[in-house]
Amino acid sequence: MPRREIGLMGYVGEAFVSCWLKRQYGEPEFEVVTQVRPSKVPAKGGPYLDLAVIRGDIVHSVFEVKSQDYIWGGDSEVNKSLDYIWSHRGEVIGYVLQDGRALRGLSRTQAYLVLLVPPNAAGIKAIGTSNLQNVLLFDDLWRVSGVASMSEETILGELREDVKKVFAILRKPKQGATLLNPFLDSRGSHPPIVTRR
């Protein structure tokens, strides 16, 4: 499968899991948030996990969604935040969102790895057999929990919101904004391919 499709599969899978969580925790006191990590895991190096269910400032559960990572084996490593949570089971862990909001876990807070495809032997070894009870398969959510009836429109609604955010960034990126004018001064006019019809 081409890498682009694999990336899209992971992205759509994460949107599906987000919708599933909102359905599972539909009460108004629960909130599904994105990009969370244990506060003791350094922010550098991509430690953020995809999703978390919170109630106020309490983390109920955390989820990392992967597409085919654990069928490739050799280069598969468990996200360091997930590894940290699993190695500190039963302990109270502090968490932080990417926007800096501080949260706290409970001794019973669970962290799950959601795989869109089952892992092979090398993938199971990378995850660790003691952690397999914290691995969910897309099949678990899709069939076992009865969400096969979840409409395509529900997932597309989630994706549309993400696309709107990305388009807003593409139209007026904040990152690198101060570099634009110096770059244009250095480069000069637009390359011909941009204005070509």
Please report the domains of the chain, with CATH numbers, ordered by start residue: 3-149 (3.40.91), 161-195 (no CATH)
Displacement of CA 69 from its chain's centroid (Å): 14
- Give exposure, 89-104, as e/b (b: 16+ Cβ within 10 Å): eeeebebbbeeeeebe
Local confidence pLDDT in tens for the 197 residues of the chain: 556 777 777 788 888 888 889 888 988 999 999 999 999 999 988 899 999 999 999 999 999 998 766 555 455 678 899 999 999 999 999 999 999 999 999 999 999 999 888 888 888 888 899 999 999 998 888 776 666 556 778 778 878 888 898 888 888 887 777 887 888 888 887 777 776 55
The C-alpha atoms of residue 103 and residue 101 are separated, in whole angstroms, by: 7
Of 6, 13, 65, nearest in space to 35 by CA: 65
